Structure formats: structure tokens, C-alpha cells
Amino acid sequence: RLKLSPVKELRGFRGKKFKEENVQVSGTRKIIGSDKIDLAKAEILFEIKNLHPTVYTFTLSNEVGDELVFGYNHENRQFFINRGKAGNTGFSENFGNQISLAPRAYEENSLKGTIILDKTSLELFFDDGKTVMTEIHFPNSPYTTLNFEVENEEVTLDLIEVHEINTN
């Protein structure tokens, strides 16, 4: 099986850092806003050690109503990215009308991920790179909030670590 991971040189561009452990989530919880980290250029690491049969959803949003939604459905064992409300999608009727899906190949009851955000691109590395997804998106304004949501469960987000990427 082929595995992919972000280049290790990316760590050399890490700037401001936000980190929390053992975050209890029931419903929707704001993780971080752009007042702490620029979400247009960020690396996000997360870990959930005990998965429940539910949907785990991250949502990037802004003040003009754009939303980029991605995560993992543990019942269906599928990762997903939904860019249907992620800003400018009108240039093609097919751009935002389908949810991107990827099956999970890893059998563990835990989940680790790395999320790379770069203005108009999203890269997801799940299970140490055993499943990787990439999408472009065109928000009308930079994303200002990252939320995490679970359906019908209370779960622990064991680790959430966000690094601003300094490229200038």
C-alpha cells in the first residue's frame, strides 16, 4: 500500500501554534479562529483515540457564509469533502455538486490526521498517509473559523494542534 505524507520541510515553516488536548465535544464546538491562527495557511494535526459509530466533521467557515466541510463517517468507513458551499462554485455546474469520498483502509478504532490549508487548497492525510484527499476551493473571503462536530455522541478530541505556516 502506498502512503503519502506532507514533506518534512514543512515543519521549518511553522509559526504561531495552538494546541489543546482532551477536548470534549458534543454537537458543534469552535476549535480556533483567525484571531489566533491564519486559517488560509495552516497545518492542523488531530487525533481521536476512541472512535464511536458517528460522523466526525470539520468545518471551515467565514463571515459571508462560505463553508468547506470535511471529515470521517465511522459507520460507513468513509472520508469526505463537501465543497458545495465553499465559495465560488458557479463557474461549473459540476464543481461543487458532488461530495468527494474515499474509503478507509485502516482497521483501527482510532483516527489520526493532518490537514494542510493553503488559501484555495485542502490536503488531508489520514492514518499516517494511508488515505489522502486533495481538493481546491474558492472562498469569497478567507476562512475565519474552524469548528469540529459530532453527531449524537460525546467524544474526546485527544489532540488538536494548529500551526500557522509562514511562507514569506
What's the pLDDT score for residue 9?
Answer: 76
Q: Is the pLDDT reported for residue 12 higher than 80?
A: no
What's the pLDDT score for residue 148?
Answer: 97
What's the pLDDT score for residue 22?
Answer: 96
Q: Is the pLDDT reported for residue 145 higher than 90?
A: yes
- Strands (DSSP E) along the chain, which ranges? 14-33, 41-48, 55-61, 67-73, 78-85, 100-103, 111-118, 121-126, 131-136, 145-165
What's the pLDDT score for residue 80?
Answer: 97
**Buried b or exposed e, range 116-138, using 16+ CB within 10 angstroms:** bbeeeebbbbbbebbbbbebebb
What's the pLDDT score for residue 13?
Answer: 81
Span 64-116, pLDDT tens digits: 999 999 999 999 999 999 999 998 988 887 888 889 999 998 778 999 999 99
Question: Cα angle at 104 between 111 and 25, to 5 degrees?
Answer: 35
The structure's pTM equals 0.91
Span 18-67, pLDDT tens digits: 999 999 999 999 999 999 999 999 999 999 999 999 999 999 999 999 99
| Closest CA relative to residue 23, chosen from 167, 165, 162, 159 | 159
What's the pLDDT score for residue 107?
Answer: 79
What's the pLDDT score for residue 93?
Answer: 78
CA quadruple 59, 47, 150, 104: dihedral sign = positive
Q: Which residues pair with 131 in a beta bridge?
A: 126
